[in-house]
Structures are given as C-alpha cells and as structure tokens.
Structure 1
C-alpha cells in the first residue's frame, strides 16, 4: 500500500512539473515539406536565393530534403540548405511512396524518364507486378510512379497492391 502511495505521489509531482515547462515555437521553414530532390545531372551547380552560382556542386543521384521551391528569373530552384539551391534543370522533386503495383491495362504500358520523355525500348507487360518507391508529378498534376532507376509509369495504368508506410 505504501508503495502505491509513493508511485501516485511521484506521478502527480511529475505531471505538475511538466505543466510548468516552457512552450517552444518552431518556424514553419524549419519543417521539411515531405518532398525530396534528386540530382539528375552529372554535377549540379548550387545557387543562392538570388540565383548566383556558389562555386559548389552536388553529384548525380544524391538526394536531399526539399526546404522550399523558389522561382528566380522564371526558373524553379529547390532549396537543399541554408541559402543553397539546385536548379530544376539539374534535379527533380519527388515524394516517397513505397508500394507494390500491378499493371492494369491489357496493353504494354509506356515507360518515361524523370523529364517525362517516353522510352522507345522499354514497356511494362500487362498483369505484371512491380515494386515502386517514389512518385513524381507533372506540372499539370499527373502522377507517375517509379519502377526502376529513372523509369516511371503513369499511375492511371496501375493498381496499388500493397502499401508500406515509412
């Protein structure tokens, strides 16, 4: 009985103690957007928020959390660090989406690269299953899922079979 009283006393004491802790505000720009940036060029030059080259670059296939997107002189730039941006011509934006998909159509499904250029020598056969780990979206909002390195198919051609949350 004495032990229960001591446990209850400490629980109440901790509850009261935590109620006096200060509340900490977090700036919105410090929270990631849920999007990532993948470098698609052999070497991607980095720029500051004014569009001036920093003399540094990032290697191909390196991935970064996206801070925000900025438009400088009509071109999109992706923030990957404090005042460090990659050009949209050297990189692209994606979102993680691990899942198994099945080709739903009765015909071969065309495959595209991250720039949405159709491959002339690759297609997915009807009824086949594929693992996909990311999704990219066109300017018009059309989603494409990745089935291989730099190979994407339109999401309207496939059915999700299982989804794994990260």
Structure 2
C-alpha cells in the first residue's frame, strides 16, 4: 500500500516538473511543398559534391526531396543526401501540383517528355480534361504540367479547373 503512494507521489512530482520545461514552437513543412528529384535514367549514378562517382546508383522513377542544386563544370547536381547528388543528366526537378486541367486551345496540344522533346505519337484533344500532379520548368522558366507518365503539356495551353490540396 505504501508503495502505491510513493509511485503516485513520484508521478505527480514528475508531471509537475515537466510543466516547467520551456515550450518551443516548431513550424512543420508540408511534404507536398518544395522541390523533388525524379530519376529518369535506368540506374542513376550517385556523386559527391565534387562530381566524383560514389559507386552506388538509384533506380529509375525513384523520387527524392531536393536539398539544393550545385553546378560542377556546367552540369547541375541535385542534393539528395549527405554529400550525395544526382546528375541532371540522369534526373530532373519537379514540384507537386495536384489539379484538374482543361485544354483551352481549339486544336490538338503537343505533348513533351521531361527533356522537353515533343512526342510525335500523342497529343491532347481540344476541350478535354486531365488530372495533373506535377509541374516542371524549362531553364527559361516556362512551366509544363504532367498529364501521364513522362508526358507534359505547356501550361499556356491549359486552364486550371480545380486544385487539390494535400496535407
């Protein structure tokens, strides 16, 4: 019986002591904000900050949160881990942007891959609706939205119909 009182007293004392700890506010960042890197090569070599291969690879279509971008001898490298980078030759940067879009032009809209090379096999018909989940940007700042796996259309050819916020 005496043991129960001692345990209860210690629990109350511990709770009271913890109430005096300083409170720190932390701003949490949404997972859907920021930029990501998508591996486009079959096996993308991983490099250090000096562009030296580390002897390991990342698989195609794996996604990484982008830390920062560095330029080594004219090639961009995307920071994905502690002194680990992917080359822009094997991957590309995107931003999440879930939305439904509609083609606004009166003619077929060309479709491009992530390297901004136009496809001769597919185009989007006028007035059609598409779900898009990400946006990529050319070096000149022109945005393209994804409508299928590695298929993008210029944002100037579509209009946003609804935006889906993810938390």
Instruction: Please confirm whether the aligned pair reaches a TM-score higher than 0.5, indicating the same fold.
Output: yes
Structure 1 CA distance for aligned equivalents of residues 85 and 91 of structure 2? 10
Distance 1:52 1:33, change over 3 A: farther
Q: Is the contact made by 1:95 and 1:136 (CA closer than 8 Å) also made in structure 2?
A: yes
- State the shift of 1:121 in Å: 1.1
Pairing 1:117–2:142 present: no
Task: Name the TM-score, length of structure 1 as normaliser.
Answer: 0.83
Aligned to 1:159: 159
SS of 1:41's equivalent in the other structure is coil
**Number of the residue aligned with 1:144:** 144
1:63 corresponding residue in structure 2: 63
Gaps of 5+ in 2: 1-15
User: Could you tell me whether the CA contact under 8 Å between 2:33 and 2:96 is conserved in 1?
Assistant: no
TM-score by length of 2: 0.82
Q: CA deviation at 1:21?
A: 1.1
In the TM superposition, 1:7-156 aligns within 5 A as: 17=19, 21=22, 34-156=34-156
Give yes or no for contact 1:33–1:67 (8 Å, CA) kept in 2.
Answer: no
Matched residue count: 148
